[in-house]
Structure 1
Amino acid sequence: MSRRHHAISLQQAAQESPTFARLSEMIRASNDRLQAIRSLLPAPLRACVQAGPMDEGGWCLLVSSNAVAAKLRQLLPALQAHLSQQGMPVDAIRIKVQNRSG
């Protein structure tokens, strides 16, 4: 019995697997939220903020430094309000500083 393995696209795998489909949806939702708030971020910070994971507890933003995290914390109420107005509410926004190694 010979078994052939065929490569499939990530999109096809996501469509065929409920787990991958859910993961794909969460990634899309996180990226959509980042795009929705990007204009509210000060221009110098925009490149320093990335969309992070979403879960039942809220949404996480990944930032490049403690200074960026501190400024972003000041903006959290406005960001959360804006997301709600855009129909993308989150219970909480967490900020995580990414450690750069190497």
Structure 2
Amino acid sequence: MNPTRRREVPDPLTLDDALRQSVPLARLRERIDASNGRFAAIQRQLPRALAPHVKPGPLDDESWSLLVPNGAVGAKLRQLQPVLESALREAGWPARTIRIKVVG
């Protein structure tokens, strides 16, 4: 009977290490960071009661999404859209359409 050889398993990568080592994942990380940066730029424009219900969403070459739990929050956010877009411009973010997505 041959002794079973144990394969050495490399230490697992942390998520940050994996994101840094993979070009596609690094690009994803950049988009996540840009989405969060945009969200930080608009937070002061969100009414206090509405702010906890709005989350940053995906960012692509043409648009940036804000995620909301229901249509009522989405409707109010659409009313604020010009103010939010203005806040983004003032913060130096490139122009992108803001999309409101109901995810709840």
1:39 counterpart residue number: 44
2:63 counterpart residue number: 58
Give runs of ≥4 in structure 1 deviating > 4 Å.
Answer: none
Quote the Cα distance in structure 2 between the aligned partners of 1:89 and 1:78.
Answer: 15
Quote the Cα distance in structure 2 between the aligned partners of 1:40 and 1:8.
Answer: 39
Structure 2 runs not aligned, ≥5 long: none
| Contact 1:62/1:95, CA 8 A, preserved across alignment | yes
The percentage of counterpart residues that share the same residue type is 43
Structure 1 runs not aligned, ≥5 long: none
| Deviations, residues 30-69 of structure 1 (Å, cap 9, x unaligned) | 0111111011000000000000000012100000111111
Bigger Rg, which one? 2
TM-score (norm 1): 0.90
Once superposed, what is the RMSD of the aligned Cα atoms?
Answer: 1.4
2:31 counterpart residue number: 26
One-letter amino acid matched to 1:65: N
